[in-house]
Structure 1
Amino acid sequence: MENLTAKAFELRKTVLHMIYQAKTGHIGGDFSVMDILVTLYYIHMNVAPGREKDPDRDRFILSKGHSVESLYAVLCDKGFFPKEELLTYSTYLSKYIGHPNNKINGIEMNSGSLGHGLSVSVGMALAGKKDGRTYRVYTVMGDGELAEGSVWEGAMAAGHYKLDNLCAVVDRNRLQISGSTEDVMSHDNLEKRFASFGWYVIHAEGNSIKSLDEAFIKAKETRGMPTVIIADTTKGYGVSFMENKAGWHHKVPTEQELRAGLEELEEKRRAANE
């Protein structure tokens, strides 16, 4: 767990470099979701380079597609594509654009139009059931996108079909581009809302690999209903001057902020390995 925590801080450094170089990106949500992605890709998901067409591979949809930099960093580190390609992020004619692009190895669908990921994941999970496949489907949503009505249509369908091969994760960092989620559209009763649609609800510390690992194990053990993990995270996690700041939803660091951020992330990476 300590090694993967260190890995998550190291990959945040990759993201920080990407966004600084490209002069674009959603760094706050990248940093809040990183531990979730690391736990899935390094522990729980049955995926690997060269198996992108394997019918029994697990499926992953990053519904909050604006946090694609973290997904690209993880996929690159896992060997889905070479680092030289990652360096082209957001450059002219690069396929590594600002939202997931299914022309890239390891990415199942173009996403980022908020509210669509869960519904598509429901379709994938239902298809797996009908085809007798063993794969699982995972999707990560931002808490801000839960104001989209299509999310709750998908939640209703998943409960109706008892899709126990489906696990949704809410990156609950409580901030969106326009401020606090509780000011924009409050979500204080998320547990009751999902439960009312027939979901098994788990809480996890979203920036703790250990807590997330335990939650994903419980999700795999759940039968007869889909699972949602409400992962309490910190926007901008890992860099103190970015944490819990709505302004870092979409902001490019200055050279000074780049250096300070990299130094802080490196300190935390080393501490995690001690």
Structure 2
Amino acid sequence: MEKLEASARRIRAHILTQINAAGSGHPGGSMSCVEILAALFSHRAAAGAGWFGRNARDHVILSKGHAAPALYATFAEVGMIPEAELRTLRQLGSRLQGHPDRTRLPEVEMSTGSLGQGLSVSLGIALALKLRKEPFYSYAILGDGEINSGQIWEAIAYAGANRIDRLVAILDANGIQNDGRIEEVLELRPYAPKLEAFGWAVREFDGQNMAEVVDAVDWASSDAPGDKPRFLIAHTTKGAGVSFMADRADWHSHTVSDEQLKAGLEEVMG
């Protein structure tokens, strides 16, 4: 657990450094999903160089594609891309686009950014895994602003009705989306009763507590939930790890100045 927590601190530092170098980006939602990504890539998948090229593996789609800095930082942390490349975020000709683009970076499972689509693709992968009786899972990381999309609920209905038990949706529930707080835009909470009504096994936990995240991922990646798709609701904080970003809607899309970078690095690494 100490190694995973140290990894999460480095990922947060990389997020800040990337966005500072780029002059733009999405720090708030990137910082909130760090523990989720660390648990999936370092703990569950044991990803590393060459991992993506294997057929026999788990699959992870960052459906909330604006959190790309967190995905790239995780790739660098586990050795899938060079750490030095992180400073090319959003630069002309870079593989690290503002939203994940698998035509430039093949380690990306799916080009995302048009919100609402990632769960459907994850569902298709999970259906293939189930039909082939493979012991792997398809994970989709969603934002709670994203689940306003109707396509999300179509995928939820299909997966529940057909008992696609290789599908794991993980909701980065930080309570804030681009246009403001969830309750000000479209309040869908509580999520769990709705999801259970569609036939999903649901678990809620503190998405910034690494031990709870790992425990939830382990539960979802086992036979414990039965023959149901699994939905993990990670209660997180926008901008987690940096006090001046935390729980603030204006940090959804924001640059990081040199002064803010220094202060942020002191907090996440201190």
* TM-score between the two structures when normalised by the length of structure 1: 0.94
1:36 paired residue number: 36
What per-residue deviation string (whole Å, max 9, x for no partner) do you get for residues 136-181 of structure 1? 1001000001100000000011112211111110000001111101
1:186 paired residue number: 187
2:70 paired residue number: 70
Q: Which runs of 5+ in 2 are unaligned?
A: none
What per-residue deviation string (whole Å, max 9, x for no partner) do you get for residues 89-145 of structure 1? 111111210111213242111011100011111111001122232221001000001
Helix, strand or coil for the counterpart of 1:99? coil
Helix, strand or coil for the counterpart of 1:202? strand
1:134 is aligned with what amino acid?
P
Within 1, Cα distance between the matches of 2:143 and 2:170? 8
Within 2, Cα distance between the matches of 1:237 and 1:195? 28
Within 2, Cα distance between the matches of 1:154 and 1:227? 13
Further displaced range: 230-239 or 155-164: 155-164
* TM-score between the two structures when normalised by the length of structure 2: 0.95
Within 2, Cα distance between the matches of 1:213 and 1:185? 30
Further displaced range: 82-91 or 168-177: 82-91
1:49 is displaced (CA, Å) by 2.2
1:84 is aligned with what amino acid?
A
Within 1, Cα distance between the matches of 2:63 and 2:176? 16
Helix, strand or coil for the counterpart of 2:221? helix
2:162 paired residue number: 161
Within 2, Cα distance between the matches of 1:212 and 1:234? 14
Q: CA RMSD in A?
A: 1.2
Question: 2:170–2:231: 8 Å Cα contact kept in structure 1?
Answer: yes
Helix, strand or coil for the counterpart of 1:87? helix
1:240 is displaced (CA, Å) by 0.5
1:271 paired residue number: none
Question: 1:114–1:145: 8 Å Cα contact kept in structure 2?
Answer: yes
Within 2, Cα distance between the matches of 1:60 and 1:207? 19
1:81 paired residue number: 81
Question: 1:137–1:167: 8 Å Cα contact kept in structure 2?
Answer: yes
- 1:211 equivalent in alignment to 2:223: no
1:54 is aligned with what amino acid?
R
Within 2, Cα distance between the matches of 1:20 and 1:27? 10
Question: 2:208–2:235: 8 Å Cα contact kept in structure 1?
Answer: yes
Question: 2:139–2:168: 8 Å Cα contact kept in structure 1?
Answer: yes
1:265 paired residue number: 268
1:217 is displaced (CA, Å) by 1.6
